Every structure is written in structure tokens, then in C-alpha cells.
Structure 1
Amino acid sequence: MNDFVSLKNHFLIAMPNLDDPNFFRSVTLLCEHNEEGAMGIVINHPTEVTTSELLDHLEIQVAPDFHERPVLAGGPVQTDRGFVIHHGTNAWQSSLAVGEHITITTSQDILEALPQQADLDDAFIALGYAGWGPGQLEAELAENAWLSVPADPSILFATDVAERWQKAAALIGIDISQISSLSGNA
């Protein structure tokens, strides 16, 4: 009997006691999750780089009125690989629908469209990703390292990066700032 439950299209919310600097107070969007492992992108750890700086480095022209946003540190794996998280369609060369309203794209064509298309105004770029081997994420969940909740596009696209950890936890009625990072025995 197989009891595997996929958490694709869920947020992993780091518990306060998770002190790995890659995941401290993080919210990770799970893009894939199956019996072979999981892949996700941290959506609330900004880097020092802005989107326009990254696009300029790639020699992509940005208008002066470009909607600026930070580039995020998506995780510790392949930090030179970029992911664009955006609403909706798979109209790009290399996209994966995470959920009905959430898509990640890795192809150059979306980067070239980013400064021109109004429907990409809330899209953001993350460098790197988080990966888990078979059973690893399940073990971390059993150790209470993470809370999980279905992904909410409003957290991704309408919530300030600095507020995503608290707002994601609030989706399940938790004020995460009130949870102690200490554990004890009764």
C-alpha cells in the first residue's frame, strides 16, 4: 500500500528552530514532490541584486519605469541557475506549471520579455533551488522542521518579501512569531 502524498504546489514554512542559514525563517514553494524526492524555491530570501541589475548583466534592456524587485536566493543548489516565478501560462520555451496560477520558467525568452510585458510585473527571479532526496523531506516534516500549507498566489505575487514567512503561516492560523524555538520534554 502506498501512502505517499505529494506536497507539490505547497509552501514549506520553516519552523523557528530550523537554523540552517539557507532556510532560516524561509518559505519554500514546492515545485516538484514525488517518491524520488522534492525540489523547491525559497521565495523570501532576497539577495543584494535587483532584477534590473541582473537583466543588465544579461544585456537585456530595462526601461526607466521598470517595476523593480529583488532577485531571491532560491536555495543552495545550482545557485547560478535562474527561475522566473510568475502567474500562469506555459507560453515560454521551458516552463513547469506548479499549480493553476503559479508557473516557473527557466528559459531565456521570459527574461527578455520581463521588462516589456505588463502581465509579468509581479514575476520574480530566484537563483538556485532546494532539493531533497528520496524520503528526506518526509523525515524533516516528521521532525517538525517545517509546516506545510497549500501555496497561495497572493503570498507570491502580492505580499512583500519580508512579510511572506508570517503571512504564509497565517494561512493555517498560526502566528509563527509566537512559536518558541526551544523544545522541551514534559
Structure 2
Amino acid sequence: MSYLQNHLLIAMPTMEDNFFARSVIYVCEHNAKGAMGLTLTVPLDMDLHHLLTQMKIEDVNLELSHQPVLAGGPVNTDRGFVLHTPRLGLHSSLQLTDDLMITTSLDILKELATGNAPEQFLVALGYAGWEAGQLEQELLDNSWLTLPATTELLFNTPWQDKWLAATHAMGIDIWRVAPQAGHA
């Protein structure tokens, strides 16, 4: 079995789920027990400046009012995740790849507020989760395309452009993809 950690899931045009339609999800973890990822294409109705101010973090950098907070998924929507480029000294950080870490502790939010943030980052509330075998079945059902993740797609592509940019990175015109999977 090949696992999809550090890949993007790209929703097929036929995906009808209101939350996941035209979504791109970064797969943080995938193993025999299931999968966990962060949706990168669903902004919440708040920016990072507002979130940090609401959490009573002081001295919040005004530039963060341009940084969206994403709805990472429908699971644990009150739990925050920061996907970021490597930075030493952060508690509860998990190294995902040489280029990526994920942090769930409050200390990184204080770092973001003061401008002492990792070079690139995104903030999400909640996550997308799959039980053992569930993601594999969704792939067999032709719900998702997969693509190795890049920092360009993760951090340098605006949320509203990620879905088309990811499909273009695959070299396909998503609107020409057949809705059903072929099985030999």
C-alpha cells in the first residue's frame, strides 16, 4: 500500500459535498489507521489578525489582516493547526517533511502575532479525517485526484486559485476529465 502523506487531494468536479466541492486538501498523515489533512480552499469569515485579537494575544501585527484563516475540515473545528516552513524552538511541532512542519500549540500563534513567524505558513481551524480504508475507497470511487505537494501550491497560490492551479500542475484540464473511473 502506498500512502499519500505530503500529497494533495484534489476534488473531482463531480464532488457534490458542500464542504469538499472544488477543494484541495494537504494530507498531513496517512497510514493503515486512516488519514488526516487540512483543507486549503475554504476560508472562514475571519482573518488571522481578528483570530489572534479574539484570543487576547497582544501586539498583533496589522499585516495579518490580509491572511485568511482556513476551515481545515469538519472535524474538531475549534482546534487550530499551523502548517509552516521549518522553524526551531516551537513546542508541539511535528516535522512532516524537510520543508514542512505542523504546529498545534499556542506558542506559534504568539510568534505569528509579533512577526516572528516561520517564513511561510497557513492557519486552519479543524481538519479532515478518514477512518482506516475510507480514503482508499474514496480514491477507488474516483472522488479525488492526487498530486505531490509543493510549497508553491501550499503557500504561494491564493486559496481561491488552488483547485485549478493543482489540476494544471498535473497537466490536465479538469473540465475534460470523465466523471467515472475506468476499471479493466
Fold shared by both chains (TM-score > 0.5): yes
Write the distance in 2 (CA, Å) between the matches of 1:34 and 1:183. Answer: 26
- The 3-state SS of whatever aligns with 1:168 is helix
Question: In 2, Cα distance between the equivalents of 1:83 and 1:155?
Answer: 18
1:7 maps to 4
Tell me if structure 2 keeps the 8 A contact 1:90–1:97.
no
Q: Which residue of 2 aligns with 1:30?
A: 27
Q: Alpha-carbon deviation of 1:117?
A: 3.2
Alpha-carbon spacing, 1:145–1:90, altered in 2? closer, same or farther (3 Å): farther
**1:121 Cα deviation after fit:** 5.6
Letter in 1 for 2:51: L
Tell me the residue number matched to 1:127. Answer: 125
Q: 1:42 aligns with which of 34, 39, 43?
A: 39
SS of aligned partner of 1:120: coil
Aligned equivalent of 1:60, options 48, 51, 57:
57
Summarize deviations over 1:99-124 as a string: whole Å, max 9, x none. 22121110000000002235536312
Cα deviation digits, residues 156-178 of structure 1 (max 9, x gap): 11111111111111221112244
Q: Report sequence identity in percent.
A: 44
Tell me which stretches of 4 or more aligned residues in structure 1 moved more than 2 Å. Answer: 63-68, 115-122, 177-180, 182-185
Pick from 111, 114, 118: which aligns with 1:113? 111
Deviations 1:22-58 (A, max 9, x none): 2110000000000010000001111111100000011
Distance in 1 between residues matched to 2:63 and 2:98, nearest whole Å = 30
Q: What secondary structure sits across from 1:99 in the alignment? A: coil
Contact 1:94–1:107 (Cα < 8 Å) also in 2: yes
Distance in 2, matches of 1:98 and 1:174, equals 28
Q: One-letter code of the match for 2:99? A: H
The one of 78, 92, 111 aligned to 1:80? 78
Per the TM alignment, residue 80 of structure 1 is displaced from its structure 2 partner at its CA by 0.4
SS at match of 2:66: coil
8 Å CA contact 1:83, 1:126 repeated in 2: yes
CA gap of 1:116–1:146, structure 2 versus 1, over 3 A, is same
Q: TM-score, normalized by length of structure 1?
A: 0.90
In the alignment, what sits opposite 1:167? 165
Q: Choose 138-147 or 118-127, whichever is displaced more.
A: 118-127
For structure 2, the 5+ residue unaligned runs are none
**Structure 1: gaps (5+ residues):** none
